[in-house]
Amino acid sequence: MGRPSPRGVLVQLLLLFLLFPALIYPLYMLLVRSVSDDEGNFVGAANFLEYLHSPGLSSSFVHSLTISITVTALVVPAAFLLAYGLTHTRFSGRRICSLLVLLPLFVPSLLPAIGFVYLFGSQGIARFLLGGQELYGPLGIVLGNAVFTLPHATLLLLTSLRSVDSRLYMAAACLGAGPWRKFTSVTLPNARYGIINASFVVFTLSITDFGVPKVLGGDYSVLSTEIFSQVIGQQNLTMGALISLVLMAPTVLTLTLDTWARRAHARLSVQNARPVSNMEQKSSPLFGFVCWGILLLPMSSIAVVVIASFTAFWPYDMTPVLDNYFFEEAGYSLSSLGTSAAMALCAAVFGTAFLYTGAYLVERAQIPAPLKRLYRLLLLLPLSLPGLVLGLAYIFAFNSGPFSFLYDSFAILVINTIVHFSTVAHLTFVSALAKVDDNYEKAGRSMGVPAWKTALRVVVQQCRLPLADVFFYLFINAMTTVSSMAFLCGGRHTVAAISIVNMYDSGYLGSAAAMSTLVLAVTFGAGLLHVLFKKIVSAESFE
Amino acid sequence: MKLCVFGAMLLSLFLHVDTASAKTEILVYTAVEPNYLNLYKKGFESAYPDISISWVRDSTGVITARLLAEKDAPKADAVFGLAACSLLLLQKEGMLLPYKPEGYDKLSPRMRDNSEEPVWVAMNAWTSGMAINKPEMKKLGLPHPKSWADLADPRYKGLIAMPDPASSGTGYMNLAAWMQVMGEEKGWDYADALMANVKMLSHSGSKPGTMAAQGEIAIGIGSPAFMKPLLKRHAPIEIVFMEDGLGWEAEATAIIKTTDKADAARKLMDWTCSEAVGKIAADFSGLAGRPEFTTSEAKKAEELMIDNDLQWVAENRERLLKEWRNRYAR
Amino acid sequence: MAFLEVEQLGMRYGASRVLRNVSFSVEEGELIAILGPSGCGKTTLLNAVSGIAYPSEGKITLSGRDITFLPPEKRRFGVVFQGYALFPNLTVKKNVAYGLGSWDARKRADRVREMLELVGLADVCYRYPSQLSVGQQQRVALARALAPEPHILLLDEPFSALDASIRQQLAEELRRLQHQIGITTIMVTHDQQEAMSMADRIVIMKDGRIAQTGTPLEIYEAPADRFVASFIGRMNFLSFSFMEGREYGIRGEDIVVAEATELMLSQPHTWTAQITDLCYMGAFVRMELLLQDYSTRLWAEMSASAAAKFKKGGIVAVHLPQDKWRSWNGD
């Protein structure tokens, strides 16, 4: 490494400096609150002991684990079947199927949950499918979580299965291997890390989600609803802080295990693997049946909400009306949608800029290694931070003290969202930047152009696709996130996702369905823009 | 260059969203039902054109928790339409500014802070009640329950949804009512019997009612005040007041001590005792702060209202809820 | 009847025809090289022979049996792919044993050991492919392909990933191995030197068609067309006004360069030329000559000692002996 570039070091320090109030300080305050009593005196592990001794509180931990493990056990195989069907076989409607898989990503997690009420609740049109089982409770939470984690798992497994070199299949065939042997000796071992990674992701998403248990949980308490009830219902912020830490234990553990597994996998990864091409895929109506069958659940739960948004009062008055789209009576207005959109836009713009700069400095700039390591470590944290916990930590951090001007501001919503989704964005940029020829800056410098100019003029151009990916990732997640907004909203600013929760709670079901549909419309529009952008960029380049 | 302009625009959007308007703006935390927010706001602002209200609305529990969390640096100027029991908690923390508003004497004694230096006045009261889904009950062939005692009858097992006292103001109101009416020992016995019939506890006070309206449950315990909008939307429910006594809470207003807009906040207190508010109260629950606006139907409910010692209710909250959790945590 | 016969093979990919009318045969024990520039269809041809792709027209027979549409699992051909396609999750030993699933355990172990010794990798049998060098990987791929006693060995650009120094060594080793075992081998390559040095016969392809089939000598001495002439070795193309219908060329090493004496210049097919460039290539010297018509350029090759007396810029006599002219039909 050459001489550290002063400009680079300065910017890096600035970024780290910004991370302090955004991440470190709130976490610190959370920790402090969890070991203090209500007056602010240090009480050590007293809160934790109280937690262990109250049966209601500690059972929520067991419940959370049970649910998340069940969801993982259901979703990962289903996602594997989907991904395998989409990569290794051909069936009718395959391309549409691969697009529809992504649909739950475009809506808040509680939208399909509301859909389940319409489908499987006491008045549900498909109630018989549950066979007398109660929807509200563990079953409902498992179904709801399964729907919203399925696309995440499928995407991961798609990538993993695509990276299996098709020449391995050819080699196996020439050595006499039949289809089952090919699957066990080629497909599965090479997809191993993908399966592990998907399992951890599903587990973490499921255990940290708040929207689904809020709608479908009934009496069955899980950690996320417990935190909410402690903070809101009982005004016991201290216990809320403590349970937040309890919630982080499994997420930190899964993150550690996942990192370890990823390193073990690196040994196996093949460069320039050729994925299974169209000609090599076998036509399989069976897989078509299976894949469309799996998708039936999420599709129907979303579709029913959109339809219900146009009915007067489900299930007693099914006349089609537009009334639900006038939110004044429910106490809200389109302004919460506007706030969501504005926040999402700001989060996307500032988040992309900040995270790209950070990733660039860490990967390609001349900066002392300790600074880089610190930044990398800090950006790994948010992945194990549930949104609810981050929101609560922000309340502690920004209610009083040096940063209190941010409290209840629009800015805090944006910052919180960026931080919450920063890890994936950062990793995306890191892997994208690694693919860009690292000689560009050197070539520029030899021509008298400083590295940072080359970075802007050339490297950024090369990264247009990942930049767009991250931009829309941040935008869509900001539009649909519920957990991270649960504590931060209800002040001067409310986002659409929270207004949906509140309207549902207050009985304005139709309005909740209507707002959900509007959110879907916005995110869908964003998705179309994204696809359009990708088409334009690919047409320009020769890749 | 283009990027800089765009960035500057966004930055200004970012910061602008929080700018205040020209009039005196007071930040008011409220737990008033969402469909009344505009009504109250318009009413107040037409009576006092130089003041504008900026609402922060959420359910009782949320707002109370928020206020307590902010106690070292409160953001609110005033509190409007929050359960009186919560206001007592705030008073304990020394967060409220005493003020005796105009029209204080026009309120019935239950609906105001009767201490020497009053800190709160109520605009309405709301009581317990239940929403019974008529088609569902018909399917089950059961008579509609009429009292708390009825609800504990084993034939209604699995048919009831109720707000959780641990997280909902309405729920706690009910719990406190049982304790006060039956005494604590019998009160817990009753709670055991009732909980055997309860299929589901909800976090919010209004959810059981909406569940009954949608047919998700046959009987939803809540407050009739929340259930009226459901009737308006053609929900097939019957609203019943428990014959053996109704718990109740008052929606009250107070001023936050640290506000720098005390004059405007005082005007809000004054307005709380006004006719306009009385009329709205009549529409909401029928039980207005000013007795002359109480509707005739509500008078029946009024008779069933128990003797509610709000101070006792506030002081014993933590203890009662702890016991509740120990007994019924699932 | 030849061991393997490919008759009129054609392959379509979408609208384009990747292979047309490809016919050749392979005798048992032969090493055939399929040689051609990128995009000529040689890998596609290999895929058809190995069974990975089915042709749109034509027939492939093995000892008289039609195997055109037999799936690769049943064909028992050993294939070494470009990139080797070693199973990354299996050790070298397990990779080599992969095709021996139906064998008796003892025989399998013996065979694996035998193969690994054959390629000289017995000591790394417990390593994983990612821990091996490229050359080692290639040998493992070879061992794996040979283990199940295949009828034919197919190699797809086996040396393209290797450094020049290792390439030659491995090429020699492969040739020796092939002779030792006596297995019929088809090798696809774009490197004409490899093909020339290793193959018994060469099939040259261009644009999906066979340009010429023959031994290295035949192809070198009598190229069938302009393409083959320029692809194999270096050819100087001659165009003189009295030739019609046929094209002529002469190899650089056949050009005689001598002092420009009267005697020399009086010979037929001799002209004066200027040496415009002289490259010392180690074993020989390459000379660029500009003929007296100031337009024809020729490249001549001679040993360093023979070139010692010439300097760049000098005038020399260039003699093109007629018996060394190669010719083929013009396009």
CA distance B297 to chain A (A): 24
Please tell me whether residues C10 and C39 are part of one structural domain: yes
CA distance A117 to chain B (A): 8
**A-interface mutation test, from C46, C90, C98, C155, most A Cβ less than 10 A away:** C98
From the centroid of its chain, how far is CA C124?
Answer: 31
Answer whether A190 sits within 8 Å of C89, measured CB to CB. yes
Residue range B228-241: mean pLDDT, rounded: 84
What CATH number corresponds to the domain at position B36?
3.40.190.10
Containing domain of residue B234, as a range? 129-245+316-328
Positive or negative, the CA dihedral B8, B9, B13, B19 is positive
Answer whether A221 sits within 8 Å of B325, measured CB to CB. no
Containing domain of residue C174, as a range? 4-230
Answer whether C88 sits within 8 Å of A270, measured CB to CB. yes
CA distance B56 to chain A (A): 5
Q: Which residue in C50, C83, C90 is closest to A174 by CB distance?
A: C50
Average pLDDT, chain B: 84
How far is it, in rounded angstroms, from Cα A384 to Cα B187?
44
The residue in chain A having the minimum alpha-carbon distance to the alpha carbon of residue C51 is A174
CA angle A319, A325, A328 (to 5 degrees): 120
pLDDT of residue A543: 45
**A-interface mutation test, from C52, C91, C137, most A Cβ less than 10 A away:** C52
How far is it, in rounded angstroms, from Cα A83 to Cα A160?
9
Answer whether A174 sits within 8 Å of C79, measured CB to CB. yes
Answer whether A189 sits within 8 Å of C89, measured CB to CB. yes
Strand-by-strand arrangement of the B129-133 sheet? B198-202, B160-163, B219-222, B129-133, B237-240
Please name which of B109, B127, B145 lies closest in space to residue B305, comparing C-alpha atoms: B127
Contacts with A, B 179-208, CB within 8 Å: 199-201, 203-204, 206-207
Question: Is B305 part of any domain?
Answer: no
Average pLDDT, chain A: 85
Contact status of B77 with chain A (Cβ, < 8 Å): no
pLDDT at B270 over 80: yes
The residue in chain A having the minimum alpha-carbon distance to the alpha carbon of residue C143 is A175
Residue owning tokens 């990732």: A473
Answer whether A174 sits within 8 Å of C87, measured CB to CB. no
How far is it, in rounded angstroms, from Cα C45 to Cα C206?
12
For chain C, the residues whose C-beta falls within 8 A of a C-beta of chain A are 50-53, 71-79, 81-83, 85-90, 98-99, 101-102, 128, 130, 144-145, 148
Answer whether A176 sits within 8 Å of C83, measured CB to CB. no
Please tell me whether residues B283 and B161 are part of one structural domain: no
Please tell me whether residues B143 and B105 are part of one structural domain: no
Question: Is B3 part of any domain?
Answer: no
Contact status of A190 with chain C (Cβ, < 8 Å): yes
Task: Give the domain-ending residue among C230, C247, C282.
Answer: C230
Query: pLDDT per residue over C6-51, tens digit each?
Result: 999 998 887 888 899 999 999 999 999 999 998 888 889 999 999 8
Answer whether B10 sits within 8 Å of A317, measured CB to CB. no
Answer whether B65 sits within 8 Å of A411, measured CB to CB. no
Please tell me whether residues C260 and C295 are part of one structural domain: yes
Please tell me whether residues C137 and C193 are part of one structural domain: yes
The residue in chain C having the minimum alpha-carbon distance to the alpha carbon of residue A176 is C73
The single-letter DSSP state of residue C274 is E
CA distance C252 to chain A (A): 41
How far is it, in rounded angstroms, from Cα B58 to Cα B62?
6
Run of H or E residues at A313:
strand A311-313
pLDDT of residue C327: 82
The residue in chain A having the minimum alpha-carbon distance to the alpha carbon of residue C91 is A268
Report which of residues C264 and A205 the model is more confident about: A205
Please tell me whether residues B174 and B283 are part of one structural domain: no
Q: Are C160 and C138 in contact (CB under 8 A)?
A: no
Please tell me whether residues C10 and C112 are part of one structural domain: yes
Which band of pLDDT confidence, cut at 50, 70 and 90, is reported for residue B10?
low
pLDDT at C229 over 50: yes
Query: pLDDT per residue over A20-46, tens digit each?
Result: 888 888 888 888 888 887 777 788 788
What CATH number corresponds to the domain at position C167?
3.40.50.300
Tell me, yes or no, whether chains A and B touch by having 3 or more C-beta pairs under 8 A.
yes
The residue in chain A having the minimum alpha-carbon distance to the alpha carbon of residue C82 is A167
Which band of pLDDT confidence, cut at 50, 70 and 90, is reported for residue C252?
confident
Which band of pLDDT confidence, cut at 50, 70 and 90, is reported for residue B8?
low
Answer whether A176 sits within 8 Å of C78, measured CB to CB. no
pLDDT of residue C306: 84
Q: How many CB atoms lie within 10 A of CB A366?
A: 16
Run of H or E residues at C141:
helix C134-146
Q: Which residue in A168, A173, A189 is closest to C73 by CB distance?
A: A173
How far is it, in rounded angstroms, from Cα B293 to Cα B296?
9
pLDDT at B20 over 50: no
Contact status of A176 with chain C (Cβ, < 8 Å): yes
Q: Which residues of A touch C130 (CB under 8 A)?
A: 267-268
Please tell me whether residues B109 and B208 are part of one structural domain: no
Q: How many CB atoms lie within 10 A of CB A62?
A: 11
Answer whether A185 sits within 8 Å of C87, measured CB to CB. yes
Q: Which residues of A touch C75 (CB under 8 A)?
A: 174
Tokens representing residue B126 in the block: 């709301």
Please tell me whether residues C206 and C244 are part of one structural domain: no
Total domain count for chain C?
2
CATH topology of domain A1-36+338-495: MetI-like fold (1.10.3720)
Percent of chain C with pLDDT over 70: 98
Please tell me whether residues B78 and B113 are part of one structural domain: yes
Q: Which residues of C touch A178 (CB under 8 A)?
A: 73
In which residue ranges of chain A is pLDDT below 70? 1-2, 56, 233-235, 267-280, 400, 407-408, 490-492, 541-543
Question: Is B5 part of any domain?
Answer: no
What CATH number corresponds to the domain at position C259?
2.40.50.100
Q: Are C254 and C324 in contact (CB under 8 A)?
A: yes
Please tell me whether residues C135 and C39 are part of one structural domain: yes
The yes-or-no answer to whether A1-36+338-495 and A56-298 have a common fold is: yes
pLDDT at C2 over 90: no
Please tell me whether residues B71 and B92 are part of one structural domain: yes
Total domain count for chain B?
2
Please tell me whether residues B158 and B207 are part of one structural domain: yes
Tell me, yes or no, whether chains C and B touch by having 3 or more C-beta pairs under 8 A.
no
pLDDT at B311 over 90: no
Question: Is B302 part of any domain?
Answer: no
Q: Are A386 and A251 in contact (CB under 8 A)?
A: yes
For chain A, the domains span: 1-36+338-495, 56-298
Tell me, yes or no, whether chains C and A touch by having 3 or more C-beta pairs under 8 A.
yes
Positive or negative, the CA dihedral B190, B191, B194, B197 is negative
Report the interhelical angle of A237-266 vs A55-88 (nearest 10°): 30
Answer whether A267 sits within 8 Å of C130, measured CB to CB. yes
Please tell me whether residues B65 and B195 are part of one structural domain: no
Question: Is B308 part of any domain?
Answer: no
CA angle C222, C225, C230 (to 5 degrees): 85
pLDDT of residue B172: 87
pTM above 0.90, yes or no: no
**A-interface mutation test, from C47, C81, C140, most A Cβ less than 10 A away:** C81
CA distance C303 to chain A (A): 43
DSSP class per residue in C57-85: EEEEEETTEE-TT--HHHH-EEEE-TT--
Please name which of B169, B236, B248 lies closest in space to residue B202, comparing C-alpha atoms: B169
Answer whether C73 sits within 8 Å of A268, measured CB to CB. no
Q: Is C150 helix (H, G, I), strand (E, B) or coil?
A: coil
Query: pLDDT per residue over B58-74, tens digit each?
Result: 777 778 877 887 788 88
CA distance A188 to chain C (A): 10
Please tell me whether residues C163 and C284 are part of one structural domain: no
Please tell me whether residues C274 and C205 are part of one structural domain: no
Q: CATH for A56-298?
A: 1.10.3720.10
